Amino acid sequence: MIKIIETVVSVSEFYIRKLKPIYMEYTAIRNERTQLLNYLWEFQDKNGYISTSDIRKLSKELGISWIEIEGVISFYHFFRRKPTGKYTVYLNNGMVSEIKGFQKIKEAFEKETGAIFGETDPTGTFSLFETSCIGLSDQEPAALINFMPFVNLTPKKVKEIVSHLKKGGDVAEIKDEVKDYVRYKNDKGESVLFREYKEGDSILKLVKKQPQEVIQEIKDSGLTGRGGAFFPTGLKWEFARHSQSMQKYVICNADEGEPGTFKDRVLLNQMPGLVLEGMITAGYAIGATKGFIYLRAEYRFLKKKVEDTIKHFYNIGLLGENILGKNFDFDISVVMGAGAYVCGEETSLIESMEGKRGGPRTKVYFPVERGFLDKPTLVNNVETLCVAARVMEFGSEVFSKKGIEDSQGTKLLSISGDCKKPGIYEIEWGMTIEEMLDLCGADDVNYIQFNGFAGTIRTKDDLHHIISGVEMGNKYNPYIRGGGSVMIFNSKRDVFDILTNFSNFFIAESCGLCTPCRAGNYLIGKRLEKIKNGEATYEEIEEIKSWGKVLRDTSRCGLGKTSTNFIVEAIDKFPELFKEKGLKEKSFDLSAALNDYYDYVKNN
């Protein structure tokens, strides 16, 4: 029997007892609504789900309607409205997981636990769910059990895990230590990020400079947004600095949801201090006193480490009031996401931090003008902030002298899939795809997905392409923008399986706010299924390109705009595959359409 423990304390008591510590950390914010996600997490963790009575209580306390809270809960896929088992398993169903044996692991979990995916077993012990990429692509198949990582799963390992848990064992006892495979960095010892971390060094240099000088240094370095949008960081900081407001915020975007990307996980695990120093640098430069790390729920296992580092920074005077005696105050706290890819988009992230559904805002203002709680807000990626700290520490040339003329610096690539050495590669711009494949030990390459599912495709014909931070060049000297993730698939992988997996991801992760992304991705998914089954005409295949254009032109945010790149490019990159699948004339399977009828009349 499932034992449901109802919370018996009143919500106000509950807040005081359980939530006060969190609440105190947000001293700068007296807006309770922003706490909604934290409250929901408290309920979710305590009972394994959020009950109707929890919602009623919250509704009364916060003065927002019940339906609004339901709306927020149903947006995030880690929040549950039905009781879950003692152990919740979230198994990654991304494409890299699929090629590493997802299906077998899924079956093993179902067999061992007696539950089926999407549900809880009859004893109320295990709940199994699939989830989008959890940032462990270098050690797939991977799952989160009670948000603790389990990697390189095999059916045997699943059996052992489940039997341990069935005996009432502790998840923490058997969880895996996630390894950070930093496979490549500049061999002359000139790595930007992976050199020795000396605590506080960048801050010591920082406080000797005027904020405007800091911004100039960042500009000189040529640093651009490492999340993949490549917006010039110095310029963004300058906009934020010039926004007039008593209160400004710095947000570190650690919602690394792009499938195949795991560099931020490695940075947060290896050098949480460097991330904090980057945030302090940004805060100092733009005149903000409050910083947040928006950590994706999938990385909850890193939360303690990050928070411990924050505490340590307070203790040694790198955070808090009057940092290093320079009359500069800065606070940092961690905010947890709850499972939504779109929250990596900066305005969605801000909406989520305000305790709302994480839908992208209409871009009337940039976040640097009006962001979190309508105050100027600087949102930067983890890697961007780390590089910024390094630039402070070693000067702009540490970055600007690297790379190629048109594109300066280095970039972390998260490489996964069919290669011998999946992991993090800090490459200098200017490397060719071929060199990269040599480094990671990929000899059979058919399909390379750059920059996540929303990125771009390269094939074995494109090995001479130069990886850089710009999109330009010509036929003889083509550049490819290397946003972060590289997924390699060999010739044994069915391209249509890959495309279907990507399509399913966008259908699951579209927030639903705008028509083209919500309906368009779903319609494209249906069409892709038809193509895969060999039921579409060649015209219908080509038609997808024009559908893709509609999504690109009219979607509300980057998710929708880029969500059809993969399929549109695939049609051009693999023409012979699609030609094989496409029909010359419309065909209609009459007998399949009559099946329901015959089944029924036969049985009656």
Partner 1 sequence: MDLRKVTITIDGKKFEAIEGQSLIEAAKNNGFYIPTLCHFKEIYPPLGTCRVCTVNINGKPDTACTRKVFDGMEVEVNTPEVLDNRKAIVEMLFAEGNHYCPACAKSGDCELQRKGYEMGISSSRFPHLFEERPRDFKDDRIFLEHNRCILCKRCVHEVKTNKGENVFYFQNRGHNMLVGMDYEKAKELTDEQVLEAAKLCPVGAIIAKGKCSVKPFGDRKFDVDKNIKWIQSEDMELNIPKDGKKKIVATTSLAGCFGCHMSLLDIDLGILDVLELVEFNKSPLTDIKKFSKQCDIGIIEGGVANSENFEVLKEFRKKCKIVVALGECSIWGGIPAMRNTLPLKDCLEEAYLNSISSENNENIIPYHEDIPKLLNKVYSVSDIIKIDYYIPGCPPNAEHIWKAIKNILFGAGEKVAYEEFKYD
Which positions lie near partner 1, rule CB under 8 A? 63-68, 70-71, 74-75, 340, 357, 361-364, 507-516, 518-523, 526-527, 543, 547, 549-550, 553-556, 585-586, 588, 590, 593-598, 600-601, 604
Measured from the CB atom, the residue of 199 and 529 that comes closer to partner 1 is 529
Q: Are 298 and 135 in contact (CB under 8 A)?
A: yes
Q: Are 192 and 271 in contact (CB under 8 A)?
A: no
The identity of residue 88, as a single letter, is T
Does residue 416 sit in helix, strand or coil?
strand
What residues are paired with 266 via a beta bridge?
none
Measured from the CB atom, the residue of 17 and 363 that comes closer to partner 1 is 363
Q: Whole-number minimum distance, CB 238 to partner 1, in Å?
A: 20
Q: Whole-number minimum distance, CB 405 to partner 1, in Å?
A: 28
Measured from the CB atom, the residue of 476 and 588 that comes closer to partner 1 is 588
Measured from the CB atom, the residue of 54 and 418 that comes closer to partner 1 is 54
Q: Whole-number minimum distance, CB 591 to partner 1, in Å?
A: 10
Measured from the CB atom, the residue of 476 and 600 that comes closer to partner 1 is 600
Q: Whole-number minimum distance, CB 68 to partner 1, in Å?
A: 5
Measured from the CB atom, the residue of 425 and 566 that comes closer to partner 1 is 566
Alpha-carbon gap, residue 115 to 123, rounded angstroms:
9
Q: Are 566 and 457 in contact (CB under 8 A)?
A: yes
Closest Cα to residue 453, out of 426, 419, 416? 416
Measured from the CB atom, the residue of 374 and 572 that comes closer to partner 1 is 374
Q: Whole-number minimum distance, CB 371 to partner 1, in Å?
A: 12
Alpha-carbon gap, residue 178 to 266, rounded angstroms:
9
Q: Whole-number minimum distance, CB 514 to partner 1, in Å?
A: 5
Q: Whole-number minimum distance, CB 33 to partner 1, in Å?
A: 12
Measured from the CB atom, the residue of 327 and 546 that comes closer to partner 1 is 546
Specify the DSSP class assigned to residue 137: G
Backbone angles phi, psi at 411, to 5 degrees: -150, 140
Q: For 59-123, what is the HEC assignment? A: HHHHCCCHHHHHHHHHHCCCCCCCCCCCEEEEEECCHHHHHCCHHHHHHHHHHHHCCCCCCECCC
| R_g of the chain, CA atoms, integer Å | 25
Alpha-carbon gap, residue 260 to 134, rounded angstroms:
9
> How does 460-495 read in b/e, with b if 16+ C-beta sit within 10 Å?
eebbebbbbbeeeeeeeeebbbbbbbbbbbeeebeb
Alpha-carbon gap, residue 535 to 528, rounded angstroms:
10
Measured from the CB atom, the residue of 198 and 549 that comes closer to partner 1 is 549
Alpha-carbon gap, residue 83 to 339, rounded angstroms:
18
Closest Cα to residue 2, out of 84, 114, 115? 84
- Apex 473 CA angle, 468 and 474, nearest 5: 140
Measured from the CB atom, the residue of 223 and 511 that comes closer to partner 1 is 511
- Apex 419 CA angle, 417 and 422, nearest 5: 70
Q: Whole-number minimum distance, CB 182 to partner 1, in Å?
A: 35
Q: Whole-number minimum distance, CB 349 to partner 1, in Å?
A: 15
Q: Whole-number minimum distance, CB 417 to partner 1, in Å?
A: 26
